[in-house]
């Protein structure tokens, strides 16, 4: 019989003086089909997992998760549900998602056990070069505006997923989003705050201000927001397919916006774009196989961190031991130094991926950690020596198929440029290029930039899990922490999603943001070794927001989890009911 990690616990103890201390504790593995409850009288996680024999969709906004669950109830696949939820997120969480952004996904086929990776990140315009930008006065890539815009990949990504794994008609997947864009929806709490934080960016573009500040201000919590312009764009793509976006009326509107603002994107840049099916990369970590997407994503950074973790007894030390956090923060520095040095578009740069995720390289990087002193200036490693050759929402259907999907505009409201006729915000992914000659991520025509988006997947025995945690450079380090919470500390997927996290939203240095739930003893120990910590709220948006689903192939039961750092939920598929309320 297969063994499995039980639903573990963070045991809560109150130390002298009333200080709360978290102790990680993994329960002993149990026989197949027996995920154990947490012991009474209490627990430290706030919510239970969602558990169902039918499908589950977990997304960062409840209406989007519900849209996906509705699609499952109509007979759709996990891919159909993920696409519908993603399209709906572009309406109800418009600062983060939409047709103007990029998309990555991993699909696990329950019948064959096969994993498919999809890279639908767009490329730079053919006429946008380092010399072109320098002539315009740029010394580095612009963070916003028309020159930060790359070709949006999301719509072609939906098409590719639907063609390969979809069951329902294409147009059906757009109906929930069209409804909310047309009739409106009450704006939720996190989303209202994030919308407000982008007000200055919106005010710089008249079309953006008109579209997303219709009353002269960003929507407040509970205010009903409608987006009829975006509804027209959705209706066009639903009726005419991706051609409407890349070759038709929407493409012409995008190009007119480019011309008006002095951009150089051409009709060919849009029409010629196609996504790429890729092979996920992976590592083994304490019995789990963990998968990410290869460059141009930061996926190898998560795997490299796990390979470093493996050389320390984190499970023995426990979740909240200062040594555990120190190893994790030091591993982040090492992996992120490599991310900046090596990541880029593998079609145009040689990237030593095999070396970067090798066990030997992880051992070499782990040996550089001095347990007594923080390293605040971490150079990249020589990954080529270990090289043998040279990418949130998630859904599971009743058959166990899983889609792990992430899509965004990058910064809040992307480039800040909105296509006025259709309310489409264009992403600013181009800002992640560099202008340094010879760098793997140097800007070049039809090149894809370094990408922060990463969908994750992991499996052990009968357990198969799609997961992801958004938030720019937070993602690889959050993935590694999530995997460790499960593999080392025996947490269930909801507990791991809620567990306190740290993040460093840069490529180097010793400054970390840490949630105030991390015990003082841990924080004091890290600072004593040389790290600078900035204390943030208990559930901080700086840590991103994640979702997870899990399928147990021995029992056919599905599990869902949603991060309290967002407005979302894991929503189970409702049963199909006959006209008298009974099953069909």
pLDDT tens per residue across span 120-140: 999 999 999 999 999 999 999
Say how far residue 91 (Cα) sits from the centre of its chain: 18
Number of H helices, E strands in the chain: 20, 25
Q: Does residue 209 carry a pLDDT above 70? A: yes
Q: E strands, 15-75, where?
A: 20-25, 30-31, 50-52, 56-59
Q: How far apart are the first and last CA of the chain?
A: 35
Predicted pLDDT of residue 2: 35
Q: Does residue 10 carry a pLDDT above 50? A: no
Q: Does residue 164 carry a pLDDT above 70? A: yes
Closest CA to 107 of 465, 401, 451, 467: 401
Burial (CB < 10 A; 0-12, 13-18, 19+), residue 289, is middle
| Domains, the chain, with CATH or none | 70-102+112-277+411-432 (no CATH), 279-392+452-572 (3.60.20.40)
Q: Which residues pair with 403 in a beta bridge?
A: 107, 395
Whole-prediction pTM: 0.92
Alpha helices (runs of H) in 493-533, residue ranges in sequence order: 493-498, 520-528
Token reading at 196? 């407000």
Summarize the confidence of residues 198-213 as an average pLDDT: 96
| Spatial distance between the Cα atoms of 436 and 451, rounded to a whole number of angstroms | 17
Say how far residue 217 (Cα) sits from the centre of its chain: 29
Alpha helices (runs of H) in 373-499, residue ranges in sequence order: 474-487, 493-498
- Residue 143: CA count within 13 A, CB half-sphere: 3
**Which of 1-15, 117-131, 160-174 comes out lowest in average pLDDT?**
1-15
Predicted pLDDT of residue 113: 97
| Spatial distance between the Cα atoms of 473 and 301, rounded to a whole number of angstroms | 10
Q: Does residue 583 carry a pLDDT above 60? A: no
**Cβ(311)–Cβ(366) below 8 Å:** yes
- Catalytic site residue from 182, 257, 390, 532: 390
Say how far residue 271 (Cα) sits from the centre of its chain: 27
Closest CA to 526 of 496, 502, 499: 502
Cα–Cα distances in Å, from 554 out to 74, 350, 503, 558, 573? 25, 42, 36, 11, 20
Catalytic site includes residue 390: yes
Summarize the confidence of residues 154-175 as an average pLDDT: 98
Q: Does residue 238 carry a pLDDT above 50? A: yes
- Strand bridging mode 3-4 / 30-31: antiparallel
DSSP 464: E
């Amino acid at each position: 019989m297969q063994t499995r990690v039980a639903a573990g616990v963070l045991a809560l103890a109150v130390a002298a003086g009333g200080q709360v201390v978290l102790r990680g504790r993994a329960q002993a593995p149990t026989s197949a089909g027996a995920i154990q409850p947490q012991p009474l009288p209490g627990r430290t996680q706030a919510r239970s997992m969602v558990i169902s024999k039918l499908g589950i969709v977990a997304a960062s906004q409840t209406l989007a998760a519900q849209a996906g669950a509705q699609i499952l109830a109509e007979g759709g696949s996990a891919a159909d549900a993920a696409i519908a939820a993603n399209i709906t997120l572009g309406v109800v969480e418009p600062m983060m998602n939409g047709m103007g952004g990029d998309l990555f996904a991993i699909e696990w086929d329950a019948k064959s056990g096969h994993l498919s990776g999809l890279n639908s990140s767009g490329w730079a315009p053919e006429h946008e070069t380092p010399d072109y930008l320098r002539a315009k006065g740029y010394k580095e890539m612009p963070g916003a505006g028309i020159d930060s815009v790359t070709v949006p990949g999301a719509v072609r990504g939906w098409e590719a997923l639907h063609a390969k794994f979809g069951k329902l008609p294409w147009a059906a997947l757009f109906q929930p989003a069209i409804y909310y864009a047309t009739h409106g929806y009450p704006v939720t709490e996190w989303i209202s705050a994030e919308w407000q934080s982008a007000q200055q960016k919106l005010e710089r573009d008249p079309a953006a201000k008109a579209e997303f500040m219709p009353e002269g201000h960003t929507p407040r919590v509970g205010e009903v927001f409608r987006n009829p312009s975006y509804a027209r764009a959705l209706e066009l793509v639903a009726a005419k397919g991706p051609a409407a976006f890349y070759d038709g009326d929407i493409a012409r509107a995008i190009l007119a916006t480019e011309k008006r603002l002095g951009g150089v994107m051409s009709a060919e840049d849009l029409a010629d774009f196609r996504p790429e099916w890729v092979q996920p990369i992976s590592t083994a970590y304490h019995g789990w196989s963990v998968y990410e997407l290869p460059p141009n994503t930061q996926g190898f950074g998560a795997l490299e961190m796990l390979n470093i973790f493996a050389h320390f007894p984190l499970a023995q030390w426990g979740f909240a031991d200062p040594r555990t956090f120190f190893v994790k923060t030091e591993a982040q520095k090492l992996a992120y130094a490599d991310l900046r040095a090596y990541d880029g578009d593998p079609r145009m740069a040689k990237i030593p991926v095999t070396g970067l995720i090798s066990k030997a390289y992880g051992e070499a990087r782990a040996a550089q950690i001095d347990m007594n002193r923080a390293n605040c200036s971490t150079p990249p490693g020589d990954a080529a020596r270990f090289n043998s050759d040279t990418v949130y929402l998630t859904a599971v259907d009743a058959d166990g198929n899983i889609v792990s999907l992430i899509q965004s505009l990058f910064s809040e409201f992307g480039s800040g440029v909105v296509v006025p006729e259709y309310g489409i915000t264009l992403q600013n992914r181009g800002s992640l290029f560099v202008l340094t000659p010879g760098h793997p991520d140097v800007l070049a025509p039809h090149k894809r930039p370094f990408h922060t988006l990463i969908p994750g997947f992991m499996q052990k025995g009968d357990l198969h899990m799609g997961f992801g945690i958004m938030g720019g450079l937070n993602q690889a380090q959050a993935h590694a922490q999530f995997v460790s919470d499960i593999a080392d500390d025996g947490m269930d997927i909801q507990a791991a999603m809620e567990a306190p996290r740290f993040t460093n939203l840069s490529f180097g240095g010793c400054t970390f943001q840490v949630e105030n739930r991390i015990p003082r003893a841990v924080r004091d120990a890290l600072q004593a070794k040389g790290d600078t910590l900035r204390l943030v709220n208990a559930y901080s948006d700086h840590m991103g927001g994640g979702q997870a689903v899990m399928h147990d192939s021995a029992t056919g039961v599905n599990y869902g989890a949603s991060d309290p750092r967002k407005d979302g939920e894991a929503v189970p598929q409702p049963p199909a009911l006959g006209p008298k309320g009974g099953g069909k």
